[in-house]
């Protein structure tokens, strides 16, 4: 008889950073060099109107793209209202709104190529 302890094992969420595809992030940095200076402080997420309802976070989008999680980043971008609050509070002065628009252009171009 198998014992049930109320939990089950989940697959590992570890990422092998040597095997991820960073081409999307490289395209973004080519278009928006400011993407490299983001320190992932979370100020953008804290002021985002959409984040409390949808989990939108520029910080998470950038980290997902750096980690090769393009589908997660694309899903999060759809929740952005492009209000620009994140741009006003960024301590590094990154135009996050422009960065999001550039990412959307990259995703649109990817879909057109399919």
Angle among Cα 14, 100, 69 to the nearest 5 degrees reads 15
Tell me what the pLDDT averaged over the chain comes to: 87
Q: Indicate yes or no: pTM above 0.85.
A: no
Helices (H), 22-95: 23-31, 43-47, 51-54, 58-66, 70-77, 85-89
Residue with tokens 């570890």, as numbered in its chain? 14
In order of 19, 49, 74, the CA distances from 46 in angstroms are 32, 9, 20
Which two tokens mark 25?
């992030």
Does pLDDT of 114 surpass 70? no
Q: What is the pLDDT of residue 53?
A: 86
Summarised one tens digit per residue, pLDDT across range 66-110 is 988 889 999 999 899 999 999 999 999 999 999 999 999 998 887
**What does the domain layout of the chain look like in residue ranges?**
23-113
Q: How many residues does the chain have?
A: 114
Q: Taking Cα atoms as reference points, which of 77, 68, 70, 72 lies closest to residue 97?
A: 77
């Amino acid at each position: 008889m198998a014992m049930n302890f109320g939990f089950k094992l989940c697959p590992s969420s570890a990422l092998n950073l040597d095997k991820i595809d960073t081409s999307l992030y490289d395209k973004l940095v080519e278009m928006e060099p400011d993407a490299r200076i983001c320190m992932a402080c979370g100020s953008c997420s804290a002021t985002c109107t959409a984040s409390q309802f949808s989990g939108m976070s520029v910080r998470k989008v950038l980290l997902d793209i750096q980690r090769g999680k393009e589908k997660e980043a694309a899903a999060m971008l759809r929740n952005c209202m492009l209000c620009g609050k994140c741009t006003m509070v960024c301590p590094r002065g990154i135009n996050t709104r422009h960065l999001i628009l550039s990412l959307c252009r990259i995703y649109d171009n990817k879909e057109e190529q399919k």
